[in-house]
A and B are shown apart, each in its own frame.
Chain A
Amino acid sequence: MQRARILSTGSFLPDRILSNEDLSQFSAEARKLIAEKTGVQTRRHAAEDQCTSDLAVAAARACLRRIDFPPDRLEGIVLSTSSPDRMQPATATRVQHGLGADNAFAFDINSVCSGSSFGIAVVDSLIRSGAFRTILFIASEMYSRILSPRDFSTYPFFGDGAGAILFRAEPGCTGGVLHSCLGTDGSRHDTICVPGGGTMLPFEKMPGPRSAFFRMKGEEVFAFTLDKGPKIIRRLLEEAGVAPGEVKRFICHQANINILHGIAGQLGIPRERFAVNLDRYGNTASASVLIALDEAVAGGELVPGDLAVIAAFGGGLSWGANLIRI
């Protein structure tokens, strides 16, 4: 059987850094709550002339450059984004053009913050099918453009960024994507959403501009994540026959430090084995896991042969986990 082996990783964060103190639209007492509630200290915001596909191209180039992989040898590009360039076409098409990956198909998936885990499972399946050998998976998000700057329940907590993984088929390989688990509870599709601009609430029927902004029910999401996060990681490891002690790094969606600590506590795993970048980048939605994975690989925390668990949760509501061997 051929597996999807990880050939390279890459990431890109925009230059502009905003500290909590820079968010002067909120009172000083409110700004103090940001780090206290979530652990976010700073976040990156894209430049005025950038859009989601620009971040994706930059992360993809970093990934390909690391192993001198020519873009025209890519067979496919799968892009996870919940903050696309435009309603259509797929943001991945502009990425394909920007990379010069002329021989690759390109399409988007949107599983909101779970898109990283869902995307890895999709790319793994495409490669395992035998139809494709080399696929670039990218997650790119620009939430600074879909949040109301006056909404304290969202604006301070998110940031912009992108990450990429290059997968290649390798028969007989013992590494790569070993197992994936995915889940969705569509009865809670309203918990995290951008209400306006789609067919349910077209622009001309929106009661006001706020309907075009992202919103979420924070407390409900917090409880959902602490329920589903540990469960799916346990299920993933049990189905794969791997003990938690064998896993070098747990790379979970970077939504909130208290969620990461809660998951670690429920699983009885030391917090130090969980990757953290939300303090520097905020919640970069589906890109958060790929950025953290790239940092772990580039920083030498994960080396060939190491096992890592990826887990993500988000709008839908949805949740997913993947067991990978570097």
Chain B
Amino acid sequence: MHEKILTTIKSGIAELFPDVGKIPITAQMRLGDIPDYDSMAAVNLQVFLEERFPLKVSLDMLAEDMTLGELIEYIGRYVKSN
């Protein structure tokens, strides 16, 4: 399931942050590593995640030091328990 979530997140990052270009999107990537990631961009990621997955994500959670791995873990747990 985690692989599927990562694929969805990768497509979202490519769509929302076109400047990411050829930077490898991996589970170790921090949200703050995404070019132009700021508090406004966090809202766009929040909208994307809540549209694609049946969950609620707070903006506090989408802080710059969160890794994609941690985000995937959270989504996986949330989806499983709901």
Instruction: Specify the chain A residue showing the minimal Cβ separation from B58.
Output: A29
B62 shortest CB reach to chain A, Å: 11
Is residue A107 contacting chain B, with contact meaning CB distance below 8 A? no
- The interface residues of chain B, by DSSP majority, are classed as helix
Interface stretch of the complex, out of A119-127, A149-157, A232-240: A149-157
Please classify the interface of chain A as helix (H, G, I), strand (E, B), loop, or mixed, using the class held by over half of its residues. loop
Q: Which of B36, B39, B44 contacts A217 (CB 8 A)?
A: B36
- B40–A218 touching, CB < 8 Å: yes
Q: Which residues of A contact B38 (CB under 8 A)?
A: 218-219
Chain B residues within CB distance 8 Å of chain A: 15, 18, 36, 38-41, 43-44, 46-47, 50, 58-59
Q: Could you jot down 18 A-B contacts, CB within 8 Å?
A: A26-B43, A27-B46, A27-B59, A29-B58, A30-B43, A30-B46, A33-B39, A33-B40, A33-B43, A37-B39, A151-B44, A152-B41, A152-B43, A152-B47, A153-B41, A153-B44, A195-B18, A219-B36
Partner of A152, one of B18, B40, B58: B40
Decide if A210 touches B43 in the complex (CB within 8 Å): no
Residues of A with C-beta under 8 A to B44? 150-153
What residues of chain B lie closer than 8 Å to A37, measured between beta carbons? 39-40
| A33 partner residues in chain B, CB cutoff 8 A | 39-40, 43
Query: How far apart are B43's CB and chain A's nearest CB, in angstroms?
Result: 4
